[in-house]
């Protein structure tokens, strides 16, 4: 599992539809918030539900530390809406139909079919400060991202 976007690279800008009907651009957060961008394979699968719920359970801590949490998968907007409602997910979920943004970030797919699980932490200037890729360490995505967010913000939120 590897990505072409590395620590220190400028994150590619994108605009995608969200589960609540908005068009969301990465540039919307520049100079305002750190962004935790997590790519996951599919709504409603056991691993993806667990990962999303781990982010949900730490959502307020991320917010207190000045970060926006955004999930991205190939699922359509309607699927995201149902997934968020069923699991009480507060974070923004973006629909990357066809995987264009996933490919921009260099997130590969297992056997060319199942997209990998990769999290990026992007600072307020749009620079990637951390990447973490692991298919089965769901909680580790949250733990790693939160540690970096806290360092970037100087926060002790959730400590």
**Each residue's pLDDT tens digit, 35-61:** 999 898 887 676 677 778 888 888 888
Best CA proximity match to 70, nearest among 38, 31, 118, 103: 38
Q: How far is CA 79 from the centre of its chain?
A: 17
Active site residues: 48
Q: Read off the pLDDT of residues 30-42 as tens digits, 9 standing for 90 and up.
A: 989 999 998 988 8
Helix ranges (H only) for 9-135 are 46-57, 59-64, 77-87, 100-104
pLDDT at 98 over 90: no
Is 143's pLDDT higher than 70? no
Q: What is the pLDDT of residue 115?
A: 66
C-alpha 37/C-alpha 94 separation (Å) is 10
pLDDT at 3: 52
Q: Centre a 10 Å sphere on the Cβ of residue 20 and count the other Cβ atoms it contains.
A: 12
H or E element at residue 37: strand 34-39
């Amino acid at each position: 599992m590897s990505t072409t976007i590395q620590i220190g690279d400028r994150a590619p800008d994108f605009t995608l539809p969200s589960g609540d009907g908005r068009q969301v651009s990465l540039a919307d957060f520049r100079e305002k918030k750190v962004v935790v961008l997590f790519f996951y394979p599919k709504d409603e699968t056991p691993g993806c539900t667990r990962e999303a719920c781990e982010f949900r359970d730490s959502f307020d801590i991320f917010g207190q530390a000045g970060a926006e949490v955004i999930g991205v998968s190939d699922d359509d907007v309607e699927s995201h809406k149902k997934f968020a409602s069923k699991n009480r997910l507060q974070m923004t979920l973006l629909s990357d139909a066809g995987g264009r943004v996933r490919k921009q970030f260099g997130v590969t797919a297992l056997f060319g079919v199942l997209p990998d699980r990769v999290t990026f932490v992007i600072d307020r200037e749009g620079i990637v400060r951390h990447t973490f890729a692991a298919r089965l360490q769901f909680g580790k995505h949250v733990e790693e991202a939160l540690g970096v967010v806290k360092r970037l913000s100087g926060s002790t939120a959730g400590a």
